[in-house]
Amino acid sequence: MEPDRPPFILKPPPPSITFGSVADAPEGDERDGAATTAPGQSATFPVPSTPRRRARWRVWALAGVLVVALATGGIAAWKTHTANSTSTCDSTITGAITAVNYPLAVACDQNGITTAGQYVDVGLIVRYNADGAKQWEAAYQGPNTDCNTFVGVAAVGDGGAIATGFSSGDVNTVGVIVRYGADGTQQWQATYQGPSLNTYFRGVAATSDGGAIAAGDFTVDVDGNVGVIVRYSADGTQQWQATYQGPNTDTYFYGVAATSDGGAIAAGSTYDDSSVGVIVRYSADGTQQWEAAYQGPNPNTNFYGVAATSDGGAIATGYSGYAFGNSVGVIVRYSADGTQQWQATHQGPTPNTYIYGVAATSDGGANATGYSYDDSSAGVVVRYSADGAKQWDTTYQGPNKDSAFNSVAAVGDGGAITAGSSFDDGSVGVIVRYSADGKQA
């Protein structure tokens, strides 16, 4: 099972978590070595050199882990995962845009903004120009019909976009990745099926050669998941894949970032009785270079967002909490060799704060976003300097009782663009632009 999510289910609760059959999966290898970490510290593992045999796994086919009742106005905030683009844009939008979909991810380029999410049971991607006017939208129906969701999006240099997510049906769930042109035309799509019945892509990053890197996980046992990362060429051909098993039974990748040398950095969590955040660096050919685990101040720590930095390092965000609340947002900076450089926590205006998205800024700092909740929720945005000092933070309350941000992108003038939703009995997607000093534009 996945690590504990915030105990906050927006109305109505998720309606369709379905269970498939139990089936055998191929034997695999499991990495040697584990590490224990003190609160607030990362442990760096060497790349495993001597794999050991893992017992034959049995597969519990759990489909629709991100299925939400969007058609009736509900969304499960504890099921939102995000990927983030590290590109910057020159957006001039003011205020908040009411989106036609429920955006789970946002990406920027020099000419506009792209969001990806879900509407009813189809994935939906929407493109806005720099002024916030909608240019196009496209719906995606994958190979399965029960639920199709985009949970990650990345901007492409030609004005197009690449979205990732999954397509769920009665029998299985497959990861999906779709490339769109600058006019919203679908150029190619690909599906990825791991050795089990259920595979989920949760994050995506565009590469400098026009390709993409997708990250997620697949089920391998009733009590086990394995992280997976897949590299695609500019025409959608799969170039390589790699799997990752953390020090605990379950491992999930939620975010991925492309690096300037053609490699990638993936972040997520590994879970057993408790969870720790994990971050893994891959070379351009998919070889694992280093990995690190992070234990925050509370028993359960999970990374959800990751951004690559200009010096070859990375910034990861998530939260550290207990099974039923009292959580703080966390952000951790790593050097190019995986050494932890600094960490910071953020407590919003209520006892529970969760940071889902992060974007690196041109000055070496970071924008982070998520939400804070108690009786109601508010979106949060936090700006950090290059040395981890908090520069400003702000909250967002949308038109409905509850609001939450899922993703963030950096803007060329030092500001930020966030995407999320505002909800009560009904829901609307929101995109909000902030200035360099944290003011809502």
DSSP string, 223-287: TEEEEEEEEE-TTS-EEEEEEE--SSSEEEEEEEEE-TTS-EEEEEEEESSSEEEEEEEE-TTS-
Instruction: Output the six-digit token pair for 312.
Output: 């070859």
pTM of the prediction? 0.79
- β-strand partners of 291: 45, 280
pLDDT band at 328 (very low <50, low <70, confident <90, very high): very high
List, in order of start, the domains of the chain with CATH numbers.
Answer: 18-31+51-434 (2.120.10.30)
Task: Give the number of other Cβ atoms within 10 Å of residue 25's Cβ.
Answer: 19
Identify whether the C-beta of residue 162 lies closer than 8 Å to the C-beta of residue 180: yes
The rounded distance, in Å, linking the Cα atoms of 363 and 19 is: 47
pLDDT band at 223 (very low <50, low <70, confident <90, very high): low
pLDDT score of 222: 67
pLDDT score of 111: 85
pLDDT score of 14: 24
Compute the average pLDDT of residues 218-229. 86
The rounded distance, in Å, linking the Cα atoms of 224 and 245 is: 10
> Identity (one letter) of the amino acid at 146?
D
Residue 308 has pLDDT above 80, yes or no: yes
| CA-closest candidate to residue 123, choices 115, 133, 132 | 115
The rounded distance, in Å, linking the Cα atoms of 150 and 213 is: 15
pLDDT score of 241: 97
Chain mean position to CA 159: 22
> Identity (one letter) of the amino acid at 31?
R
**Under 8 Å CB-to-CB from 286, ≥6 apart: which residues?**
229, 231, 239, 240, 241, 242
| CA-closest candidate to residue 308, choices 268, 349, 256 | 256
Residue 425 has pLDDT above 90, yes or no: no
**What per-residue string of b and e applies to 242-253 under the rule 16 or more CB within 10 Å gives b?**
bbbbbbbbbbbb
Query: Does 332 or 24 have the greater pLDDT score?
Result: 332
Residue 4 has pLDDT above 80, yes or no: no
Burial label, 204 (beta-carbon count in 10 A; 0-12, 13-18, 19+): buried
Residue 272 has pLDDT above 70, yes or no: yes
Could you tell me how many helices (H) and strands (E) the chain has, helices first?
A: 0, 34
3-state secondary structure of 15: coil
Task: Give the number of other Cβ atoms within 10 Å of residue 30's Cβ.
Answer: 12
| CA-closest candidate to residue 83, choices 184, 8, 162 | 162
Query: Does 63 or 395 have the greater pLDDT score?
Result: 395
CA quadruple 152, 429, 12, 370: dihedral sign: positive
Residue 315 has pLDDT above 70, yes or no: yes
- β-strand partners of 152: 164
Identify whether the C-beta of residue 42 lies closer than 8 Å to the C-beta of residue 311: no
pLDDT score of 84: 35
Secondary structure in 3-state letters for 121-173: CEEEEEEEECCCCEEEEEEECCCCCCEEEEEEEEECCCCCEEEEEEEECCCCE
pLDDT score of 97: 44
Chain mean position to CA 10: 19
pLDDT digits (tens, 9 = 90+) for 81-125: 233 333 333 434 444 444 444 678 889 888 889 999 888 788 999
Query: Does 68 or 220 have the greater pLDDT score?
Result: 220
pLDDT digits (tens, 9 = 90+) for 40-67: 544 433 332 222 222 222 222 212 222 2
pLDDT digits (tens, 9 = 90+) for 27-38: 333 333 333 344
pLDDT digits (tens, 9 = 90+) for 333-359: 999 999 999 999 999 999 899 999 999
